[in-house]
Amino acid sequence: MTFHAVSAGQAVTFFVLGAIASGINAVAGGGSLITFPALTVGFHMPSNIANATNSVALWPGSFAGALGFKNLISKTAHHLKVLFLPTLLGSLVGAQLFISTSAKVFDRVIPWLILLAALLLMFQPTVKKLAMREGRSVSPVAGAVLQFFVALYGGYFGAGMGIMMLAAFALFMDGTIHELNAVKTWLGLVINFAASIMFLAQNIIDPSVALILTLGSIIGGFYAAKFSQRVNPDKMRTVIAIYGLVAAAYFMYKAFRLPSWPSIG
């Protein structure tokens, strides 16, 4: 694994990006919509390397968030036991699918994934209302299968997977929104950890950038709880969602733009 040289200015930028992404994940979600485009557009990192690096770097922030829900483990243990295996398997399949995807194909897929994540973030309140409605319409077995596919998405890309999980939980799980969030956070940790191990084993990350982003994410996650009390999460969510839509449009143009017309004469 080769550590690439990073200038002082780049190091500061990566650190700040990691802190901002971790803080956004704690307040409203969608932090990857900040870091991934920044790595690919601002620092010209190949999209597949940026995706893997981003997943590995932001994992500590997920761990910090999971610790924040440790008081609800007793109330959510049943769901965690049922969904742990399909979550683990789904994340491993998704990560392997990502590893097997060529950079060219991933460049064509990524605009749609960013668009999906941005739309999920934009309609997050609707998902939360759905999660709190009475009456579930899917059996636990079908719910486990659904969770497998959500985890597959998370292992492949990840942005917006938490909102996907809340939407899925609404179909087969009972509990308060805090309990559903706890299950979402712990299972998200499983997805991120499993995918990160595979990405590290395949040596498809930029370790220098990942390390600096990680340090920033730890600081950002630590102070996010205090900072989040002063921020309107709905306004932040809207801003990040709009930013995601712009990023999706950019990547779509970049991936699908037509070749230049040949010159005449």
Residue 25 and residue 30: Cα distance in Å, rounded?
Answer: 6
More confident residue, 19 or 175: 19
pLDDT tens readout for residues 76-91: 788 889 999 999 999 9
Closest CA to 211 of 95, 56, 65: 56
pLDDT tens readout for residues 163-194: 888 888 878 887 777 787 788 888 988 998 99
Give the model's confidence band at 133: pLDDT under 50 very low, under 70 low, under 90 confident, else very high: low
Mean pLDDT to the nearest integer, 34-50: 88
Find the DSSP H helices in the chain.
8-27, 32-37, 47-57, 59-67, 73-100, 103-122, 124-131, 140-156, 161-172, 177-201, 207-228, 233-256
pLDDT tens readout for residues 179-234: 877 888 889 889 989 999 999 999 999 999 999 999 888 887 667 655 655 667 67
Estimate the crossing angle of helix 59-67 against helix 8-27, to 10 degrees: 30
Residue 194 and residue 226: Cα distance in Å, rounded?
Answer: 29
Structural domain spans, the chain: 8-254
What's the predicted TM-score (pTM) here? 0.81
The pLDDT of residue 29 is above 80: no
The pLDDT of residue 263 is above 50: no
